[in-house]
A and B are shown apart, each in its own frame.
Chain A
Amino acid sequence: MPAPQDNPPARRQRLSRVVNIGLPYLWLGVFFLLPLLIVLQISVAEPRLGQPPYTPLWEWLESGVLQIQVNLQNFMLVWEDSIYLTAFLNSLWVALVCTLLCLLIGYPMAYAIATAPPRWRIPLLMLVILPFWTSFLIRVYAWIGILKTNGLLNHLLLALGVIDTPLNILHTQTAVYIGVVYSYLPFMILPLYANLSRLDPTLLEAAADLGCRPLRAFVRVTLPLSLAGIVAGSMLVFIPVVGEFVIPDLLGGPETLMVGKLLWTEFFGNKDWPLAAALAIVLLGLLVVPFVLMQRLERRMEDSA
């Protein structure tokens, strides 16, 4: 980009810059970044009765002294009380398992769509996206009817004689896995498809020509080249699932402790805003690493494009 100049054309450009960059920047700064800073502030406050239900970070005392009160007890509580630690570990575990499951199911699907005859690709892809346009809540709800003890799945399995006594799936971690994979599968398939469809098919032909068998060609050529898609899809699943609330709440049980649900309970149930804020900050801290990884990858792909 040229250095800033001061001729009329440069001045005209400046107006467009102010509008195009300035407005979204301002909006996201005020309504996205600033709120996160406020969460940080309140995470070091103490809960109290009244409106708002937390103590302020600073106060001007009558003597003209600025009193800043930083309360780290919320964070210490999160560290010391095993329920929070368990919830964090379990959230990460659930996200990890579900990301792998999505990859396991999503990769072959994306690959099959990308290698399908061209006129089939868009309809097949639309079929993947379509459920995403219907309500998320309702799709999770659908699984309640299926997984219940006297639900459709148990009826089917009993009728087929596979099992003698109904399975308890609903309100277990297994139900959470199913619900998450079901809801987040499109997020895995889309970036994978975008990546795989750009893959030059002559590369595989060249590999075959050089004596590489199909499976080996897949492992040595296709897989490394689709790494960017794998990482992008995995991050799109992993990061939001760590903080997921609806699925563990509706499908999970008492043993499925997850941060999102805990945060909700602290906020709406116990009305402990500072503790909820502290949980949000810790969660945010955990997600920074995968997020930065994703950003880096995105930028690298952009540069190579």
Chain B
Amino acid sequence: MRRRRWPLLSLLAFGYAFLYVPILLLIVYSFNESRLVTVWSGFSIKWYRELLHNQQLLEAAWLSVRIAAVNATLAVVLGTLAANALVRHGRFRGRNAFELLLTAPLVMPDVIIGLSMLLLFVAMQHGLGWPDGRGFTTIAIAHITFSTAYVAVVVRTRLAQMDASLEEAAMDLGARPLTVYLRITLPLIAPALLSGWLLAFTLSLDDLVIASFVSGPGSTTLPMVVYSSVRMGVSPQINALATLIVAVVTLAVIIAGVTSLRGSRTQRRR
């Protein structure tokens, strides 16, 4: 069946242009000497230099990275447990509610999550005396809560695709359940754990709304700094920051792509 595909392909091209032109423009203008976005007055990297001397922004970035790493690690643990529960434990009592709790954070508006978490922390501080004030811990807890749901989706898919008889075979060959999990299950779902971790890391690094609710004085995250500077209008420093982020992400994707390609190629050669 041959059909003319050009209308479809031009739509596709238009879609990609829509997705990428704004990002490309950000990158181009990050090298603009002028402060005005619309006027090209010459190539310069002075905004990068300024960015690297912006103490407030650097501190916020460091805080965000630390929160994101803690968040990603704990979310992978909780999300993997939840995925185990859903795939390996069949129809347990309360399963519907469990699934509901795991799906709702995926679509729940940030303002509701942020507000509700803050109210919880205030009530807990009032009633239990913990957490004492808000900052790193409260932001991390809030992020883990919604990241867990994302990790669970990723790991669950992978786990469900895995042949259950692999675990049975290992057990049949004398491996106890913990050994089976460590030697068979974990290596086989490792790619999903890695993408889950990266996803959780990015989500945390990206969150403005929830962090704004549950942060306290002295714990300003990177998106909060970016937001306050963006509200003031266009700032070439943010363009430079955007370029750096895009560069890091692209590099990571290329590395991931090349290693997985090389991995499959060496396997074929052997």
Interface residues of A (CB under 8 A from B): 1, 12, 16-17, 19-21, 23-25, 27-29, 31-36, 38-39, 42, 52, 105-106, 108-109, 111-113, 115, 124, 126-128, 130-131, 133-139, 141-146, 148, 150-152, 155, 182, 185, 204-205, 208, 214, 235-236, 239-240, 242-246, 250, 259-260, 263-264, 267-268, 273, 276-277, 280, 283-284, 287, 291, 294-295, 298-299
Contacts and interface: CB of A to CB of B under 8 A. Distances in A.
A36 B25 contact: no
A277 B123 CA distance: 14
B270 interface: no
Contact of B1 (A126, A135, A204): A204
User: Which residue, of B1, B100, B148, B231, has the highest number of chain A Cβ atoms within 10 A?
Assistant: B1
10 contacts: A23-B81, A24-B152, A25-B94, A38-B119, A39-B119, A133-B202, A135-B223, A137-B226, A145-B26, A214-B3
B245 A182 contact: no
User: Which residue, of A17, A112, A113, A268, has the highest number of chain B Cβ atoms within 10 A?
Assistant: A112
A32 B12 contact: no
A140 B49 CA distance: 24
A247 B107 CA distance: 16
B112 A182 contact: no
Interface stretch (B52-60, B186-194, B203-211): B203-211
B117 interface: yes
B116 A139 contact: no
Interface of B: 1, 3, 5, 8-9, 11-12, 15-16, 18-20, 22-23, 25-26, 29, 37-38, 78-79, 81-82, 84-85, 88-92, 94, 98-113, 115-117, 119-120, 122-123, 126, 141-142, 144-145, 148, 152, 177, 202, 205-206, 208-209, 212-213, 223, 226-227, 230-231, 233-234, 238, 241-242, 245-246, 249-250, 253, 257
Contacts of B208: 136-137, 246
B145 A28 contact: yes
B246 A280 contact: no
Given A239-B109, A245-B209, A250-B231, A131 B23 contact: yes
B231 A31 contact: no
Contacts of A24: 78-79, 81-82, 85, 98, 102, 148, 152
A263 to B, nearest CB: 5
Contact of B38 (A150, A283, A298): A150
Given A39-B116, A152-B25, A242-B109, 6 more contacts: A16-B89, A35-B116, A38-B123, A42-B119, A182-B22, A246-B227
A259 B209 CA distance: 14
A244 B19 CA distance: 20
B242 A134 contact: yes
Nearest to B37: A145
A105 B98 contact: no
A115 B11 CA distance: 14
A186 to B, nearest CB: 8
A264 B103 contact: no
A262 to B, nearest CB: 9
Contact of B223 (A32, A137, A245, A260): A137
B142 to A, nearest CB: 8
A36 B116 contact: yes
A184 to B, nearest CB: 11
